[in-house]
Amino acid sequence: MRQSSLVVVANRLPLDDSAAPDGACEWRRSPGGLASALHAILQQTPATWVGWNGGIDSAPTLPDIGTLRLRPVALSEVELRGYYEGFANSTLWPLYHDAVEQPVFDRGWWETYRAVNRRFAEAAAEVAEPGAAIWVQDYHLQLVPQLLRELRPDVLIGFFLHVPFPPPELFMQLPRRVELLRGMLGADLVGFQRPQAAHNVAQLATKLLGAPTISDDEIVVDGRIVRTGAFPVSIDVAEMQALATRPDVVNHAKQLRHSLGQPRRVLLSVDRLDYTKGIEHRLTAYSELLRDGRVKVRDTVVVQVAVPSRERVESYRGLRDRIEGEVGRINGEYGRVGEPAIHYLNQPFDRADLAALYQTADVMVVTPLRDGMNLVAKEYVAAREDGTGALVLSEFAGAAAELEDAFLVNPHDVDGLKDMLLRALDAQPADLAARMGAMRSHLRSHDILAWARAYLSALDHTGRLTEWLPIPAIPRQRPAAVTPPLR
């Protein structure tokens, strides 16, 4: 296996193998924000991406994507259950998202989580050239930084957590809290979406490891300084803008509006089918607006795209059943023949189709109960080239710290959510244009390249990790080691 100077390790590869309708193997872009973000930048660099390809017991040889090499890691059925569905997605995921769903503490899962983390660490160590940088991603692989430090003391180790890091009171519930914290702090630089996360980790390091902190951003672990900081992830703004203005996409958006019955207003939501996304609260708000006659089906159309996710995990199956039942109830009660109240779509879409959907939406409703960032909110803003459209955004999405000109809302407060939806629906064009203009201008200088540049130049001050990144169009205002500023 050829070696690389930059190795990315994430649970998922950017491609998933899924069976095509004829049973043949078909490669598709992986779901979720992490794959979207990294896929956008890494095609331009001779890095290696180590990850799982979505299958069971298979690690096929995969073609390069541009200059990016893919190194698959095989997972067995037992490992998928204990590591991915179990410890990662039934223990850590709910706990890290404010325990909006009860975390499950199953003692049997831990050993599998540890063994799989070791396999990923060994695979990364194998493809890293001497002195390379290894950039580990997300909660699935929280032990990998420490394991790598033991295997390859010569490499620089970065870790980035795409999801929120919980407050200390919640993290303290984890039976394996010391190992998990120590594992992550095996990195040289630990990146988060929000500054609060770094603060939480500094507090926990002192409490659980007795590690002194120099500041919130510097912790001394075993005599070594571990740096932490906030690096809010973003999207390929240029790609989304280009897509949204492509003539076929603009035409497609017009056709979509036509197919929806040329309503006066279209509300859109696009989520993975996940209990953190607040889909049920949103449906309650919409149903009550219909019940109270504050919106009318013919006039206002709702489109909910909800792509199935983690379908073998019990809490996700239950959520899907509840949501589909509620959509059926609302359509049964308020829809008319040929005019459903909610257009509910379960399918994955390609980027151009998503851009057309964003073009069609007068109001984009992004109301997670908790979200590390939420890239859909940023994609919508990037797609609104003409400055029209309203974004209703949860205060509990990381994106709210940057997109302050959205219609910010507490999604737990259903009455407040209903009022905010109406405010966004009835807003004056000048107000919308001012809000959208401010958000677009922020995104232009805080795109995915700015994120990669900020993180990688903080990981290695020499600049060798960022040589392949295009020169920024807008000069940086702050020193390289500092994250793109949050306003």
The encoded tokens of residue 276 equal: 């953190």
Beta bridge partners of 356: none
Asked if residue 393 lies in contact with residue 408, where contact means CB atoms within 8 angstroms, the answer is yes
Q: Which among ligand ADP, ligand G6P, none contacts residue 374 (Cβ within 5 to 8 A by kind)?
A: ligand ADP
- Site for ligand ADP (CB under 6 A): how many residues? 16
Q: Is 187 in the site for ligand G6P (CB under 6 A)?
A: no
Smaller CB separation from ligand G6P, 31 or 103: 31
For residue 450, the surrounding DSSP H or E stretch is helix 448-459
CA dihedral (207, 150, 135, 54) positive or negative: negative
Smaller CB separation from ligand G6P, 141 or 198: 141
Q: List the one residue from 354, 390, 406, 465 that touches ligand ADP (CB under 6 A).
A: 354
Site string for ligand G6P, 126-155 (x = CB under 6 A): ------------x-----------------
Q: Is 442 a catalytic residue?
A: no
Residues 146 and 133: their CA atoms lie apart, in Å, by 14
In whole angstroms, how close is the CB of 9 to ligand G6P at the nearest point? 12
- Site for ligand G6P (CB under 6 A): how many residues? 12
Q: Is 31 in the site for ligand G6P (CB under 6 A)?
A: yes
SS3 237: helix
The encoded tokens of residue 465 equal: 């990790």
Residues 47 and 132: their CA atoms lie apart, in Å, by 10
Q: What are phi and psi of 76, to 5 degrees?
A: -85, 170
Q: What are phi and psi of 100, to 5 degrees?
A: -65, -20
**Which residue out of 97, 162, 252, 446 is catalytically annotated?**
162
Q: Is residue 86 exposed (0-12), middle (13-18) or buried (19+ Cβ within 10 Å)? A: buried
Query: For the chain, give me the number of helices (H) and strands (E)?
Result: 17, 17
Smaller CB separation from ligand G6P, 32 or 387: 32
Q: What end-to-end distance do the CA atoms of the chain give, in Å?
A: 44
In whole angstroms, how close is the CB of 439 to ligand ADP at the nearest point? 16
Closest residue to ligand ADP, judged by C-beta, is: 33
Residues 396 and 193: their CA atoms lie apart, in Å, by 12
Q: Is 252 a catalytic residue?
A: no
The encoded tokens of residue 409 equal: 């809302």
Asked if residue 33 lies in contact with residue 112, where contact means CB atoms within 8 angstroms, the answer is no
The encoded tokens of residue 410 equal: 């507490």
In whole angstroms, how close is the CB of 135 to ligand G6P at the nearest point? 14
Q: Which among ligand ADP, ligand G6P, none contacts residue 420 (Cβ within 5 to 8 A by kind)?
A: none
Nearest-Å Rg of the Cα atoms of the chain is 22
Q: Which stretch binds ligand G6P (CB under 6 A): 28-36, 67-75, 229-237, 469-477?
A: 28-36
**Which residue out of 236, 371, 405, 447 is catalytically annotated?**
371
Asked if residue 148 lies in contact with residue 134, where contact means CB atoms within 8 angstroms, the answer is yes
Smaller CB separation from ligand G6P, 378 or 440: 378
Q: Which among ligand G6P, ligand ADP, none contacts residue 12 (Cβ within 5 to 8 A by kind)?
A: ligand G6P
Q: Which among ligand ADP, ligand G6P, none contacts residue 310 (Cβ within 5 to 8 A by kind)?
A: ligand G6P
Q: Is 349 in the site for ligand ADP (CB under 6 A)?
A: yes
Site string for ligand ADP, 359-398 (x = CB under 6 A): --------------xxxx--x-------------------
By CB under 6 A, name the binding residues for ligand ADP. 31-33, 36, 270, 272, 305, 307, 348-349, 354, 373-376, 379
Give me the active site residues, please: 162, 371
